[in-house]
């Protein structure tokens, strides 16, 4: 509960595009996770099922209180400590470098970065303010806005620079740019804006999560509505997202904006 959804989904989505076998593991009692801004994501496995597996990479997203809940999970701690001891790749982003890695001692001897809100908690002589910091087997990053760079760094470490070029080309442009509106239109509201995002099996989950996360941060009411039979949706990169309601239940409401994410090739 409380994991930063953009960081988790972008990391998994980019790595799966590169060909990695990615497992989303829940440290909660069930597989369904309510993320920082209310999106519900269904993990692939409970963390206990991963305890004896060997991974080439273990990476933890940030978010609060998600980072605290990750830190307090003993199974995850054992997995991460073993990963570091056996010199395999591990990483953390946002609050997680300070909240998760430091209490476990996995930052020692490394240069690390994290979200600006937590940078003061890092050892002064080890803290850096780069968007992505690779220090030996450890990679850290700053937050949702650097999640693509964080994920692509792992693609390069696991698959090489050519894989980064291949994946980056499918993303169009991982950098966030503000476009200029040519014929500017004012959008005055005397109410909390209402936004509908219809989703289906095969929808691009990174687009869904980024839209929901950013709009909800702006205090906009966002409704994810499934156009399929179930509210449980499997995205194009096989991530499971739970819609807020079905499209029929959403059809009686009025919306200030309707956004349709891309429908990918994966279907269930």
Half-sphere exposure (CA, 13 Å, Cβ side) for 7?
30
> Cis link prior to 65 (omega < 30° from 0)?
yes
Q: Which residue has the higher pLDDT, 1 or 243?
A: 243
pLDDT at 228 exceeding the cut of 60: yes
How far from the centroid of its chain's Cα atoms is residue 46's Cα? 18
Average pLDDT (37-44) is 96
Half-sphere exposure (CA, 13 Å, Cβ side) for 19?
9
Task: Look at residue 61 in the predicted model and tell me its pLDDT.
Answer: 98
pLDDT digits (tens, 9 = 90+) for 13-24: 999 999 999 999
β-pairing, 89-93 vs 57-60, is parallel
Task: Look at residue 55 in the predicted model and tell me its pLDDT.
Answer: 98
**Fold that domain 5-170 belongs to in CATH:** Rossmann fold (3.40.50)
- Candidates 3.40.50.880, 3.20.20.70, 3.40.50.300, 3.60.20.10; correct CATH number of 194-258? 3.40.50.880
Give the model's confidence band at 267: pLDDT under 50 very low, under 70 low, under 90 confident, else very high. Answer: very low
User: What is the three-class DSSP state of 162?
Assistant: helix
pLDDT digits (tens, 9 = 90+) for 137-178: 999 999 999 999 999 999 999 999 999 999 988 886 555 455
CA 73 to CA 28: how far, in whole Å?
9
pTM: 0.91
Residue 138, number of CB atoms within 10 A of its CB: 22
The token duo for 161 is 């620079």
Beta bridge partners of 92: 60, 140
Give the model's confidence band at 180: pLDDT under 50 very low, under 70 low, under 90 confident, else very high. Answer: low
Backbone angles phi, psi at 218, to 5 degrees: -85, 10
Catalytic residues: 94
Task: Look at residue 125 in the predicted model and tell me its pLDDT.
Answer: 81
Q: Which residue has the higher pLDDT, 214 or 184?
A: 214
Average pLDDT (194-204) is 96
Give the residue ranges of DSSP H helices in the chain.
Answer: 5-17, 66-71, 74-85, 96, 147-159, 161-170, 205-217, 247-250
Give the model's confidence band at 127: pLDDT under 50 very low, under 70 low, under 90 confident, else very high. Answer: very high
Task: Look at residue 181 in the predicted model and tell me its pLDDT.
Answer: 60
Closest CA to 10 of 153, 196, 182, 119: 153
Topology match between the domains 5-170 and 194-258: yes
Average pLDDT (65-88) is 98
Q: Which residue has the higher pLDDT, 104 or 1?
A: 104
User: What is the three-class DSSP state of 63?
Assistant: coil
pLDDT at 220 exceeding the cut of 60: yes
Please report, for the chain, the start and end positions of each structural domain, with discontinuous segments joined by +.
5-170, 194-258
Average pLDDT (217-224) is 96
Quickly tell me which residue has 């395999």 as its tokens: 88
pLDDT at 258 exceeding the cut of 90: yes
């Amino acid at each position: 509960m409380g994991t930063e959804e953009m960081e988790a989904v972008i990391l998994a989505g980019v790595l799966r595009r590169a060909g990695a076998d990615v497992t989303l593991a829940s440290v909660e009692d069930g597989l369904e996770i309510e993320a920082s801004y209310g999106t519900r994501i269904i993990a692939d496995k409970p963390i206990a099922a991963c305890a004896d597996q060997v991974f080439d990479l273990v990476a933890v997203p940030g978010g609060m209180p998600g980072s605290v809940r990750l830190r307090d999970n003993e199974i995850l701690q054992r997995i991460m400590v073993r990963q570091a001891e056996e010199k395999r790749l591990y990483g953390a982003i946002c609050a997680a470098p300070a909240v998760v890695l430091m209490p476990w001692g996995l930052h020692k001897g490394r240069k690390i970065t994290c979200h600006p809100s937590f940078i003061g908690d890092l050892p002064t002589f080890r803290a850096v303010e780069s968007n992505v910091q690779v220090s030996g087997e450890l990679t850290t990053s700053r937050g949702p806005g650097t999640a693509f760079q964080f994920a692509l760094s792992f693609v390069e470490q696991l698959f090489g620079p050519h894989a980064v070029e291949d994946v980056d080309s499918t993303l169009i442009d991982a950098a966030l740019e503000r476009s200029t509106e040519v014929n500017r239109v004012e959008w005055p509201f005397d109410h909390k804006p209402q936004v509908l995002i219809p989703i289906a099996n095969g929808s691009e989950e990174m687009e869904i999560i980024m839209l929901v996360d950013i709009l909800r941060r702006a205090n906009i009411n966002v409704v994810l509505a499934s156009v399929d039979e179930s509210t449980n949706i499997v995205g194009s990169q096989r991530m499971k997202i739970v819609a807020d309601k079905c499209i029929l239940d959403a059809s009686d409401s009025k919306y200030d904006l309707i956004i349709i994410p891309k429908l990918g090739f994966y279907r269930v």
